Amino acid sequence: MTTGWFPNSERLRKTLTLRVLFASGTLCWAVLTLLLASQQVGSQGHFFAVAGASWVAQVFAAVALLLAARQADGAERRPFLLFGVAVAARLVADVVWVGSRAFGLGFAEVFQVAVHAVSYALLFGVLLWLMARIRQEMVSVAALDTLAVMLTSGLLIFYFSPFSIVEMPVPVALAVLARPVCDLGLLFLALAALMTVRRPPFVVISVVGLLLLLVADGFYLWTRVQGIYELGLAEAFWSGGVMFLGIAALSWRGETVSRAGHVGSYGVGLFWFGPFSPLVQYGFLLLWAALYGPMPAYLLLGGVALAVILTGRNYAVAYAGDVMARRQEALALQAEQGRILAGLHDTVKQDIHGASMMLEAAVAARERGDSDAASELLEKALEATREAGRDLARPLDELRAATGHGAAEPTAFFRQRLGKLAYFYGMETHEDLAAPLEELGRGEILVAHQVFVETAWNAAKHSNAKNFWLSTRREGDAFVLQMRDDGRGYEPEKATGGIGLGLMRSRARAVGAALRVESAPGEGTTVELRFGR
C-alpha cells in the first residue's frame, strides 16, 4: 500500500543520491586532476595521475548512468534514454582511448572517431528536441543558429591551425577539427536552453560538462600544435566532462521538461555580439586576413555558406513568429468563447429555470381552480422565455463575431443584427451605409463585427435607448463605421463589464484602426471605428 509520505521520501532519497554522487565525484576528480598538473610530463607519477583522474571520472560517470537508467520513470523517457546512450558511447570511447594509449594499442583513434560520431549525433538530436520542447516552433531557428556557430568556429580553428591537416591521418584530423566544433555546437545549444525563462535543471550540469570537454579540446589542440602531445590534462578534462554529463542524466531521469517560451534579451544580445556570434567570428577572420593575409578561397566560400544560413534563419524566425501569433490569436479566441459560453450558461439557464418554475406554479394554480393566478403566472413565464431568447441572442452574436461568421457578407450580417435589436427590444434602427462594408479586409470586418455586437447589445440592454443608428462613410482614405444611440449615456472612463473599452481598442489597434467613444449621462453614446488614415 502506498502511503502519502512515500513519494516525498523517494524524491528525497533520489536527491540525496544525486548530491552525494555529484560532490564525491567532483572532489575525487578535482584532487586527481590537480595532482596530475603538478607532475612532470612523462614521469611515472604523471602516468598514474592521468589514469587515476580519467578512470575515477569514468567510474562515477558509469555509476551515474546506471542509477539514472534504474530511476528513469518520467513521461519523456525516450529522449532521456537517447541522452544516456550518447553519454555512454562517449564514456566507452574515452575508456578505450585512455586504455589503448596507456597500453600501446593502435586501434583507439579509429574507434574513437566512429563512436564519437554516434554520440554527437544523439546529443545534437536530444538538445534540439529539448529546444523544441521548451521553445516550440523555434527549434528550426536554434538548429540554424547552431550550424552558423559551428561553421564560423570551424573556420577559425582551421585558419589558425599552424600544422598541416592533410599530413595527418584521417582519424586524427577528424578528432582535431571535428571534436571542438561539435563540442562548441552542443555548448551553444545547452547555453540557449540555459538562458530560457524556465531552464531545465539538468541543463546546468550539462553546460559544466560541455565546458570541460571544450577545455580538453583546447589542451589537445595546443599540445598538437606544440608537438608535445602526451596523455595528460586533455584526457582528464574529457573524462571529467563525460562524468558531468552522466550526472546530468541522473539529474534528469526522464522527468517532464516544462515549456519556457523564449530566451531573455541578454541571450539574444550574446548571440549577435558575444564570443559565439557567427558575425563577430567571421568579421574577425576577414579583418585578420585583410591585415595579415592570406585570404584563402575556403574563407570566402564559408562566408557564402554563412549568408545562406542566416537568410534561412531570418525566414525561420518570420515563420515561427507567424505561427506563434496565430496560436496566440487562437488562444485569445478560445478564451473569448469560454467567457461568452460561461455567460450564456449562467443567464439562459437562470431564465429557463425561472420560466419552468412559473409554469409549474401556473399548472398548480389551474388545478386549484385559480384561473387568474394561472393566467398571471403564464404571462410571467412567457416574458421569462422571451428574456431567455434575448439573452441567448447576444452571446450567439458575439460568438459569430468572434469566429468571423458573416465576414463574406458583412452588410447582410449587420442588417440581421439590427433586425434582432428591433425584434427583441422594440428599438427603432436606422442605417446609412454610404460606404460598402465589403471594402474592408477580413481582419477589419472581424473587428467591426465584434465592436458592433458589443455596442448594439449594450445600447439595447443597458442604456434604455429608443433609437440606434448605424452608418458608414468615406473620409479620404479612411473608412469610418459609426454606431450611435439616444440612451441614457454613461461615463466611458468608469465603464465596467462586457469586453471592455480597453479590449475593444486593442482589437482595433491590431488591424490599424482607431476607436473613439463619446458619451455622457443623458446624451446617448457614439462609438466610431476609423480604418486607415
In a domain, 271, yes or no: no
Strand partners, 527: 483, 517
Q: Could you read off the pLDDT of 38-84 as tens digits, one per residue?
A: 877 777 787 788 888 888 888 888 888 888 888 777 677 888 888 98
Grid coordinates representing 394 are: 447576444
- Whether 6 has a pLDDT exceeding 50, the answer reads no
Distance CA 474, CA 479 (A): 5
User: Which residues fall within 8 angstroms of residue 43, CB to CB, at 6 or more apart?
Assistant: none
Q: Which among 433, 498, 491, 434 has a CA at the least distance from the CA of 460?
A: 498
User: At which residue does the C-alpha cell 455586437 appear?
Assistant: 453
Q: Could you tell me if 91 and 58 are in contact, meaning their C-beta atoms sit under 8 angstroms apart?
A: yes
Confidence of residue 266 (pLDDT cuts 50, 70, 90): low
| Number of neighbours of residue 522 by Cβ within 10 angstroms | 9
In a domain, 386, yes or no: no
Most confident range (mean pLDDT) of 95-104, 154-163, 446-455 is 446-455
Burial (CB count <10 Å: 0-12, 13-18, 19+), residue 531: buried
Which of 253, 286, 313 is a domain's end point?
A: 253
- Give the model's pLDDT for residue 528: 92
- For position 465, which CATH number holds? 3.30.565.10
Residue-by-residue DSSP string for 220-247 = HHHHHHHT---SSHHHHHHHHHHHHHHH
For residue 43, give the H/E element and its range: none
- Give the model's pLDDT for residue 3: 40
In a domain, 417, yes or no: yes
Which of 253, 273, 305 is a domain's end point?
A: 253
Confidence of residue 498 (pLDDT cuts 50, 70, 90): very low
Distance CA 52, CA 222 (A): 23
Strand partners, 525: 485, 519
- Whether 7 has a pLDDT exceeding 50, the answer reads no
In a domain, 311, yes or no: no
Q: Could you tell me if 420 and 401 are in contact, meaning their C-beta atoms sit under 8 angstroms apart?
A: no
* Length of the chain measured in residues: 533
In a domain, 1, yes or no: no
Mean pLDDT of the chain: 79
Q: Could you tell me if 197 and 260 are in contact, meaning their C-beta atoms sit under 8 angstroms apart?
A: yes
SS3 state of residue 431: strand
Domain that holds residue 67: 6-253
- Whether 91 has a pLDDT exceeding 50, the answer reads yes
Distance CA 359, CA 347 (A): 19
CA 185 to chain centre: 21
Q: Could you tell me if 523 and 516 are in contact, meaning their C-beta atoms sit under 8 angstroms apart?
A: no
Distance CA 206, CA 189 (A): 11
Q: Could you read off the pLDDT of 12-46 as tens digits, one per residue?
A: 667 777 788 888 888 888 888 888 878 777 777 87
Average pLDDT over residues 313-332: 71
| Number of neighbours of residue 77 by Cβ within 10 angstroms | 13
The total domain count for the chain is 2
Distance CA 391, CA 380 (A): 16
In a domain, 303, yes or no: no
Grid coordinates representing 489 are: 449615456
Which of 214, 230, 253 is a domain's end point?
A: 253
In a domain, 234, yes or no: yes
